[in-house]
Amino acid sequence: MNSVAFIVIAIFTLAAGLAAATLQKLMHAALSFAVTFVGIAAFFFLLGAEFVGLVQVFVYIGVTSKKIAASTGVALSSRLLCSAV
């Protein structure tokens, strides 16, 4: 059962990481990046390191969500500035 879970998590994490590296839209790439960190946290849970997995989720997913919010704010402000000119 652990080997099947490992393979599923590995495929899921690698696909999300590849998507984060190749997607053109920043929002989609950032969300794929967050999914990659969830997959890495799942590896820690699978290995029995629950604390490290939770820290992974809270810290890195929080940082990724702040990057999404900041990039959305920059995109909106640039649209407002371009339309005002």
Domain that holds residue 57: 2-84
Burial code of 40-50, b = ≥16 C-beta within 10 A, e = fewer?
Answer: bbbbbbeeeee
Nearest to 27 by CA among 80, 79, 73: 73
DSSP state letter for 54: H
How many domains does the chain divide into?
1
> At residue 78, does pLDDT exceed 60?
no
> At residue 13, does pLDDT exceed 90?
yes
- In 3-state terms the chain splits into helix, strand, coil percentages (rounded to 5) of 90, 0, 10
pLDDT tens-digit series, residues 27-77: 788 888 888 988 999 999 998 888 988 888 888 777 777 777 777 666 655
Interval 8-19 mean pLDDT: 93
pLDDT, greater one: 29 or 15: 15
Nearest to 71 by CA among 38, 31, 37: 31
